[in-house]
Structure 1
Amino acid sequence: MTSVELSAFMADFATAVAHVEETGERVSCTDGGAPRAVLLCASDLAELEHFAQRNHDGPRPRPTAAREKSLGPVPQGPYTRYLHVDGVRMTFVRERAVAAELRSVEELDWLERNAAMGRQGYMDPKQAAAFKEFLARQPPVGDGIAWIAGSWQEQRPFTVLEFIKGRTCEEVALAYGADPQDVADGLLLHQVREWDERGGSDDVDRVLVFGEAGGWTWLGYHDFDHAISRRLDPPPPEQITLTATSAKGIYDFSYSKDGEYQNPYPLDDSLDARRDMYELIWYTPSEAPFAPDAPLGFLNPHMRRAEESTEWTDGIALFFAGLERAFGVSLPQDGITSGNVCCARPARRTA
């Protein structure tokens, strides 16, 4: 990197700015030989600012004392220098376009450190598409959820399946109105089934069954008497809800991020942000279920991979297989079948 004393730079900034603008190379400005500031092209600074704002590692360092009072724009050759109020940062303009910026070494170090962290989560459109294809080809985690699709359509063993990210299963169960004592005792589903068989009750249809798999909390329940609250505050980072109403042939899928519903349709400003849930019977294998510009358009390649790499033929089972690949959701087949999974009765239940 080219180096110049700050006093020489101030006397002839046009030469340094032209060099930066033409070559893209940065110029180091020193004060008594010690690095004090860096001149860089405006596009480089714009990129750093863009990515740095995605990550904030402490406050941005700012000069605390002005080196020089800002007396107005200073023209030199084709360039005009604008001195910021702190007397250190400078902007250089040519023909109404910003050509270069001067930033302190400390501020530039902060920007580059934060930009490096911000870039880690960024992929250009081509990379993102390739990564999406890669993820869609991955096998499901654990047992997946396609195995339960058939019985779920008949509302067995649950009417509602939910998958919640970022909360423990016990935390979610209590928030949904589960009996704290049942949660603390580790009540198991097979115990409730056995009580029902001995006493002729139907508590098994009222319990909230829950567990964790693949980084998600999963829930299975009926909500015939509205005993389940289904509310979390604040909303979880991600939430998937699948609801079966076999008597009406209605099977719904919804997905939310940070409490914001992800609409199955492209949106425009004039439409309600939540137009509809997605009905699973609308899904036709070999056809993309969502428009590419819909919030749920990212699911399309996962559905296609499920069609190509599984033996499921039922549309709802295939849709579930696509969700396995998209989100890594899973349900323990042996645990649910045998009843060796945690459950809890509603906290406010009649005797």
Structure 2
Amino acid sequence: MEITQGTLAEAWQRTAAGHALLHGVGLPPVAFSDEALDECVERAEEAEDEGLCLLLDENGTVRGHYGAYREAFVTSDLEQVLYLIAEAAVRRRGGSVAEVADAMERIDPAWGRRFRSGGLDDTGTVEACGRDPLEGLAWIAGSWREQHPYTTLAFFRAAPGRTVDAERLALLYGADPAQVAAGTRLKDLKAVDSGRAHGDRQWESCCFGRAGGWTFLLYHDAPRRAFANKEAYTALGIEESVRLSATSAKAIYTFDYLRDGRRVDDDQGVLELIWYERGLAPYLRGGELDFLNRAVRRAELDHPEVTDTFELYFHALEKSLGLRLPRRDFTEGEVRAAYWAAKSS
């Protein structure tokens, strides 16, 4: 059934009337053009209300928006629209993510399962974690926000059955060939650096290795000559890459995921990682990054004791993509490291 203003209003009226938790909840503002949506969002912002606004296209597609810049979902499925309106209404009442899940289940058991899955249906749930969330990748989230130990965390993965050579990758970025060949570790840089403290020179260094099926390279600023040998870089066989970048002075944190030569981003470009609101999917529902929405929801439900949303997000990256960093190697200085090679004259 094509969604129209009438069918949407009637369907929501029936839904709200049929569930005690939705009594008195009206249909969110509905706009029929981008200009009208802007006015709707502007009125909401003036009222300090970032509630849901709907844009109904001529073809019956409904686009949900929170604020001026965040498109939350796009769907032509009326039942999904009703679910998303109900979810937004229940979330606005407050409570933990688990309490919202319980409330959605009281409205409809299928809706409760859907909310817990984090997706637009109740399938494809992520298995419960069952271990310390700060062991795999999330241990670095807090210090990374303060640009320590590195501002850029880059991960690379090849096709199944192949690996991205960590040494070759570091060399292509500009790591000192002598230190790479010598197997230099982070503790070695700190021990032999007599001219200046490593704390000053770390901006000229990188760490690299493999963990969780990915090759990682951590650094601050890569030399301009990085990737000078395009053929050698292609020969590494990289099919996926994830780059997390922090600029704490400006409070900008970005997430960039490339797969098969294209950015996975629902046509949004490099995505800024912000302190997302618990229970609210950080990315477009049903979009290319919906797998990460599901993993974030699972992390929220599995680890209510984790209060830092960056740690939850990093844990979701580990669960969904397998990203990891060896905490002990970093702590004990055993991770491979090198300074960038000196510029040739």
Q: What TM-score do the two structures reach when normalised by structure 1? A: 0.55
Alignment of 1:1-351 (within 5 A): 132-135=124-127, 137=129, 143-166=135-158, 167-196=164-193, 198-201=194-197, 202-223=200-221, 226=224, 228-229=226-227, 232-233=233-234, 236-263=238-265, 265=266, 267=267, 275-281=268-274, 283-310=276-303, 311-349=305-343
Conservation of the 8 A alpha-carbon contact between 2:284 and 2:290: yes
Quote the Cα distance in structure 2 between the aligned partners of 1:136 and 1:258.
Answer: 29
1:213 CA drift (Å): 0.8
Conservation of the 8 A alpha-carbon contact between 1:140 and 1:324: no
Q: Residue type matched to 1:343 in 2?
A: A
Conservation of the 8 A alpha-carbon contact between 1:237 and 1:259: yes
Which residues of structure 1 form unaligned runs of 5+? 1-128, 268-274
1:302 CA drift (Å): 0.4
Q: Residue type matched to 1:179 in 2?
A: D
What does the per-residue CA deviation read over 1:302-333, in whole Å, with 9 as the maximum and x for residues that have no partner?
Answer: 00111111232111111101101001111111
1:228 CA drift (Å): 4.7
Aligned CA distance change for structure 1 residues 220 and 136 (closer, same or farther; 3 Å) = farther
Conservation of the 8 A alpha-carbon contact between 2:174 and 2:223: no
1:193 CA drift (Å): 1.5
What does the per-residue CA deviation read over 1:104-151, in whole Å, with 9 as the maximum and x for residues that have no partner?
Answer: xxxxxxxxxxxxxxxxxxxxxxxxx78731457576899311111111
> Higher relative CO (CA 8 A, sep ≥ 6), structure 1 or 2?
2
- Matched length: 214
What does the per-residue CA deviation read over 1:23-57, in whole Å, with 9 as the maximum and x for residues that have no partner?
Answer: xxxxxxxxxxxxxxxxxxxxxxxxxxxxxxxxxxx
For the residue of structure 2 that corresponds to 1:187, the secondary structure is: coil
Quote the Cα distance in structure 1 between the aligned partners of 2:330 and 2:343.
Answer: 23
Conservation of the 8 A alpha-carbon contact between 1:136 and 1:305: yes
Conservation of the 8 A alpha-carbon contact between 2:128 and 2:302: no
Conservation of the 8 A alpha-carbon contact between 1:193 and 1:204: no
Q: What TM-score do the two structures reach when normalised by structure 2? A: 0.56
Q: Hey, what does 1:24 align to over in structure 2?
A: none
Conservation of the 8 A alpha-carbon contact between 2:223 and 2:340: no
Conservation of the 8 A alpha-carbon contact between 1:168 and 1:217: yes
1:285 CA drift (Å): 1.9
Q: Hey, what does 1:12 align to over in structure 2?
A: none
Q: Hey, what does 2:46 align to over in structure 1?
A: none
1:287 CA drift (Å): 0.8
Q: Hey, what does 1:11 align to over in structure 2?
A: none
For the residue of structure 2 that corresponds to 1:199, the secondary structure is: coil
For the residue of structure 1 that corresponds to 2:238, the secondary structure is: coil
Quote the Cα distance in structure 2 between the aligned partners of 1:174 and 1:330.
Answer: 22
What does the per-residue CA deviation read over 1:202-243, in whole Å, with 9 as the maximum and x for residues that have no partner?
Answer: 333211200111111111111076565497426611111000
Quote the Cα distance in structure 2 between the aligned partners of 1:215 and 1:155.
Answer: 25
For the residue of structure 2 that corresponds to 1:247, the secondary structure is: helix
1:341 CA drift (Å): 0.9
Q: Which structure has greater helix proportion? A: 2
Seq. identity, %: 39
For the residue of structure 2 that corresponds to 1:237, the secondary structure is: strand
1:261 CA drift (Å): 0.5
Aligned CA distance change for structure 1 residues 227 and 315 (closer, same or farther; 3 Å) = farther
Aligned CA distance change for structure 1 residues 142 and 173 (closer, same or farther; 3 Å) = farther
1:348 CA drift (Å): 3.6
Q: Residue type matched to 1:288 in 2?
A: A
Conservation of the 8 A alpha-carbon contact between 2:126 and 2:295: no
Conservation of the 8 A alpha-carbon contact between 1:160 and 1:220: yes
Quote the Cα distance in structure 1 between the aligned partners of 2:272 and 2:201.
Answer: 30
Conservation of the 8 A alpha-carbon contact between 2:136 and 2:315: yes
Which residues of structure 2 form unaligned runs of 5+? 1-120, 159-163
